[in-house]
Every structure is written in structure tokens, then in C-alpha cells.
Amino acid sequence: MPISLKIHTPARLCAALLLCAVALAAPSLAAQKPYRVLDRWQIGGEGGWDYMTADGPAHRLYLAHGPRVDVVDTTSGKLVGSITGLYRTHGVALDSNGKFGYISDGGGNSVIVFDRATLATLATIPAGENPDGIVFEPATRTVWAFNGRSRSVTVIDARTRKVSATLPLPGRPEFPAVDGRGTVFDNIEDKSEVVRIDARRRVITATWPAGCDSPSGLAMDPAGERLFPVCDGKKMSVLDARDGKLLANPSIGSGPDAARWSARHHLVFASSGDGMLSVVDAAAPGYPTIESLLTQRGARTMAYDPVADRAYVVTAEFGPAPAATAENPRPRPAILPGTFTVLVMGR
């Protein structure tokens, strides 16, 4: 039986190598496709806003909007309902079973439990002074409400809806993150630090420099054990979540207040008040900022839906700022009623 030898010509060999290179580079190329503003949903209403939370499987977006939480259908951009009767809302956490949500009502010094199917309020749980950042920790089935004014964290057992612990913190807390395995992290804004907390033992196990000034928003890559605080000075930090080592300081916009992680694309998003959505490639050496997308002034908070690969920011139109006073030397400009809007970014 004759033996056949297949010999590649130089042209065929080059073509084969090129195809292999393209195949290997495909995930990186996909990660660097630019995001753009796809839509704008005018929600309306009055008052300021704070954090946002996306529920991808349920196609819902929760917006902390003054004395209520607005709920938007992300397939239509329409308001489907609101959770009202609150004081000054800051954030929304969602349980891992798809049933309940938790609102940090800073003005009421409490955490509100609601039914995600009906939006009915189920319980009001006392917290510390001005609960702000809030997160659900799935390994212990606890809710962590970080109290900005009392510099503490209220831990709530989600099964009993009772406070199980109150822990003092070394400074004023901002946004938290969890690894899903029983560890909670939080930015300490006035100390430019990050704390690590054992959710089972209810103790702080480490305090690290944040790697940048006044950290506010915080994202986490649980699989890669990396933290991404966003800070003043147009900087994000990349920290090793095991030992707090500073890995990089990518550039972002000015006045950031939110950071989110895409596990599928290995991207970190940061939104800032100057109207910028910064996209950082966490799979590339040096953590480069691969996109600086203009959004709209005031769009400092953000949610990310990994199911749809959509980022959402909110803002409004502003009038002139009132005159400065001794009590309020840097007054914010007035928000024009009816202009509260969600911007949708995708690819």
C-alpha cells in the first residue's frame, strides 16, 4: 500500500498559521469590540438617585430613586412598578433564589425586604445610621447593610429577617462585594482602605490600602480573586483579594461611584459623574483601559447585566446650582423634574 505524504507549501503553511492565530485571539478581539449607547429610557419622576441593580434572568432593573425604588423591564424600557413609602433609598440587594430583595433605606435607618414577584413590602428591619451599600452573601444567606453615618455593618439573617450581628468598621463604608464563598469586602472611603470580613465568624480578617484615594464603587472577580475599587483622581485599583497586593492602577473617568465585573468577557466597567463609562481589559497585561465611552453628565452609578451584556447608567437634566452657604459650600445643581433617564450600553 503506497504511503502518501502531505506537504504544505509555504503559502498553505502561512494560511494555516494565520487561522490558528485568529482562533487563539478570538476571545481577546471579542472583548475589545466597542460598547456604545444603544437606547435611552426616560423614567421621569423627581428627586435624586443612588445605586442600581440588574436582575438579568428576570429582565428587571432596580433603581434607588429618592424615597422609592423604581423597577424597569429591560426588554421594553418601561417602568413596571415602584416600591414606595420609603425615605431615602441607596441600594438594592437580591437573594440567590430569585424570590426576595433588600433595600437600604438610609433616611429610615432600616432595611426593607420585598417580594420580587409582586414588589410588596414584607418587612422593615432596623439597621444602623444611614445604611448605604448593601449586598447578599449566598454562603451564609445573610444580608450586609453598611451604615455610612454610624461606621458599622448590620448583618441580617435572611431566613429569620432578624439582625444577627452589628460590626464596627474602621471608617466610613462605601460599596461592598462578595466572593460567594463566605467572604465580604468593603471600601472604607475616608481611610482609602479595603476591609475583608469573614461572613461566618463576623470578624474583619484584613485591612489593606485601597491603592487609590477615596474608594467608592467596588467590583470583584471571584474566580480570579481580584478586587477593583474605583477612586478619586481618575483611577481604578486592581488588588489581589488574597493578600491585598496592588496589581495595577488603570485610568477611568472623574467622580466614579460604581464598578462592575463581566466574568464572560473579563472586563471591568467604571461609571463616573463626568459622563464617562470606562472599560478595562482584565485579561490583558497591565490592565489597559480599552474604551472611554461618553454617556451623560451625572451618570455616576451603574448596573451590569451579564446575561444580555448590557451596562446601565442613570442621570437627569440639571438646572443652575443654588448659591453657596456656610452650611453647604458646594451645592449641587437642581435636578429638573421628569428628566430621570436610563442609558443603555451594549455592543
Residue-range domain boundaries for the chain: 50-316
Checking if the pLDDT of 252 tops 50, the result is yes
More confident residue, 295 or 12: 295
- Nearest Cα neighbor of 270 from 251, 283, 285, 246 is 251
Residue 334's pLDDT is 82
pLDDT in tens, 1-10: 444 444 444 5
Checking if the pLDDT of 345 tops 80, the result is yes
Contacts of residue 258, Cβ cutoff 8 Å, sequence gap at least 6 = 51, 52, 175, 216, 217, 230, 270, 271, 300, 301, 302, 303
pTM comes to: 0.89
Phi-psi region of 56 (alpha: psi -120 to 50; beta: other; left: phi over 0): alpha
pLDDT in tens, 148-204: 999 999 999 999 999 999 999 999 999 999 999 999 999 999 999 999 999 999 999
Top-tier CATH class for 50-316? mainly beta
Task: Find the mean pLDDT for residues 304-330.
Answer: 91
| H or E element in which residue 29 lies | helix 10-31
